[in-house]
Amino acid sequence: MIEIIDLKKHFGPKHILRGVNLKIEEGKTLAVIGGSGTGKSTLIKCIIRLLEPDGGKILFNNKDITHIKKQMELAKLRRSFGYLFQEGALFDSLSVGENVVFGLKYLTDTPKSEYARIAKEKLALVGLKGIEHLRPSELSGGMKKRVSLARVLATEPKVILYDEPTSGLDPIMSEIINELIIDLKNKLGVTSVVITHDMKSAFEISDNMAMLYEGKV
Amino acid sequence: MFKALGRLLIKFFTQLGQASSMVSSCVFWLFKSPLEFSQTMQQTTKIGVESLVVATLTSLFTGMVLALQAGTTMRNILSEPLYIGTLVGFSLVRELGPVLTAFVVAGRAGAAVTAEIGTMQVTEQIDALHTLGTDPIRYLVIPRIIAFMIAIPVLTLCANFSGMFGGFLVSVNSLGVASNVYISDITTYIGVDDLMHGFIKSCFFAFMIGVVCCYKGLWTRGGAEGVGKSTTQAVVTSMVLILVMDYFLTAILNSIGL
Ligand SMILES: Nc1ncnc2c1ncn2[C@@H]1O[C@H](COP(=O)(O)OP(=O)(O)OP(=O)(O)O)[C@@H](O)[C@H]1O
Ligand SMILES: [Mg+2]
């Protein structure tokens, strides 16, 4: 479904990705592991084109998406993806509930009357209840992470890129999130790329594993 | 020396290029997608309310000091405080009202806009907007530029009135000008063209402040420190550009008879 060929990315003189080759099959989960600062986040940002690669190719459903420039086409591409940010990246100016349903307005035709129900349902999935009216600044780091995951789930994307979904969570919560990822795969056929530091959960959830080291897999 | 100058020029033109590409994306999204109406309204009231008190106070005292200076000068030259209303009104409506209001808004609301967008940039909220199917230009920039373009002319109008009122207070109370004389000095000599002159200026200022502050916010790099840096830069750039634009706009508007 996603094919990455000889992907290169550098920031100034720092060469982060030096020719990554990866294949992600439909309905499968790929775990990406690797030391801190090896470019894991950079890699999945290239996939969803938040960053433009400097070399190589990314194919999505056999279509070359490496250098799409048109804003409309990029927006369309991103419709298929969900991206869980490492730090959550919740919108400070909106409440938790508004954060969760934010994407619905732009990515789906869900009627507004459904929003409250969806927010509740998705927050329950990540083990949070009755916090819709709070502001992101009132949450703990782990709670932010889970709200952010709820926001990704709300739009029901076909491919989800998780940037360390379980870091900063207690073991029980991590287990719940891992099961959620497996559930999404089994029930909805979601394709996932999961960045993780936790080897145990990497083995648990993934069909394939890739280790990033010195800019290569 | 030349190297430094060259680097400065390169930086200037890169930024100009980036800012203009932002403006062209604004035009693109303005036609491609419905306006974020509630965002725009929210921003307009926020900018308006934030700056109203400071803007009116600033011009109140400016009007007062204008009247005082003009009054004492006139008394020295003509031994009578003549045409104070006209002088105060002209200076405010054509020049000081738009410029001072733009200054106040740039320092207050402009800084807030850059800091907010800059923080969103360094905490990946801008990236999150992309992944959730919208675009920072559409969701953040356009509503804010429009908000500035509504709020600043309205604030300028308020500032003009409060400045003329300040002039009125000083003229009547300490210069001994009759109140109806002050008012007729204003109404007989200041016409629609003067109001247009000020209005057009304030629209241009508003657009520029919106572009500069959003641009600096979006191009923030380097964490919390970066946010502080780009906020200062946004305010300084806006203020310098207000004065530069003011000169050229005055020259152009005068030459077309406004
Ligand atoms: N915008 C940027 N500008 C310059 N350098 C960057 C930028 N983003 C990332 N880097 C650099 O790229 C390298 C890889 O960053 P990345 O965030 O991909 O690491 P990571 O593998 O996700 O690490 P972690 O496990 O700590 O999240 C880092 O050394 C970082 O300094
Ligand atoms: Mg990372």
Work out the percent of chain A whose per-residue pLDDT is above 90. Answer: 27
- How many folded domains does chain B comprise? 1
pLDDT in tens, B221-258: 988 999 999 999 999 999 999 999 999 999 999 999 88
Please give the average per-residue pLDDT across A76-97, as a whole number.
90
- CA-to-CA distance for B231 and B215, rounded, in angstroms? 11
Q: Is residue B34, in this structure, part of any structural domain at all?
A: no
What is the model's pLDDT at position B114? Answer: 97
**Confidence class for position A154, pLDDT limits 50, 70, 90:** very high
Whether A196 lines ligand 1, by a CB cut-off of 6 Å, is no
Q: Is residue B37 part of a domain?
A: no
Whether ligand 1 lies within 6 angstroms of the CB of A35 is answered as no
Contact A215 CB / ligand 1 (< 6 Å): no
Residue B23 domain-assigned (yes or no): no
CA B57 to chain centre: 15
Tokens of A213: 């080291």
Check B123 against A93: CB less than 8 A apart: no
Mean pLDDT over B26-51 rounds to 90
Instruction: Give CA torsion, residues B45, B46, B47, B48, to 10 deg.
Output: 40
B32 inside domain: no
For the segment A4-37, what is each residue's pLDDT rounded down to a tens digit?
A: 888 888 888 888 888 888 888 888 899 998 888 8
For residue B14, what is the enclosing H or E element?
Answer: helix B2-32
Residues of A with CB under 8 A from a CB of B: 45, 48, 50, 71-72, 74-75, 78-79, 81-83, 85-87, 89-93, 102-103, 106-107, 151, 155
Contact A78 B131 (CB under 8 A): yes
Please check whether residue B255 touches A, CB under 8 A. Answer: no
Do the domain assignments include residue B211?
yes
CB contact under 8 A, B133 and A151: no
Res. A216: pLDDT tops 80: no
A208 lines ligand 1 (CB under 6 A): no
**CB proximity B135 to A under 8 Å:** yes
Whether chain A has a CB inside 8 Å of the CB on B33: the answer is no
As given in the structure block, the two tokens for residue A196 are: 């993780």
**Is residue B68 in a domain?**
yes
Identify the pLDDT of residue A27.
86
Instruction: Let me know if residue B24 belongs to a domain.
Output: no
Per the prediction, chain B carries an average pLDDT of: 93
Name the residue of A41, A211, A212, A216 whose CB sits within 8 Å of the most ligand 1 atoms, as the mutation to test its pocket. A41
C-alpha span between A33 and B56 (Å, rounded) = 59
For residues B138 and A9, what is the distance between their CA atoms, to the nearest angstrom? Answer: 28
Is B16 a member of any domain?
A: no
DSSP state of A9: E
What mean pLDDT do residues B111-134 have?
94
What residue owns the CA closest to ligand 1's atom 9?
Answer: A42
Question: Which range of residues forms the domain containing residue B132?
Answer: 49-255
Q: Count CA within 13 A, CB hemisphere, residue B98.
A: 29
What ipTM does this complex have?
A: 0.90
- Write down the pLDDT at residue A8: 87
Ligand 1 pocket, mutate which of A40, A51, A52, A167 (most atoms under 8 A from CB): A40
pLDDT of residue A65: 83
Residue B80 pLDDT > 90: no
pLDDT tens-digit readout, B156-209: 999 999 999 999 999 999 988 899 999 999 999 998 999 999 999 999 999 999
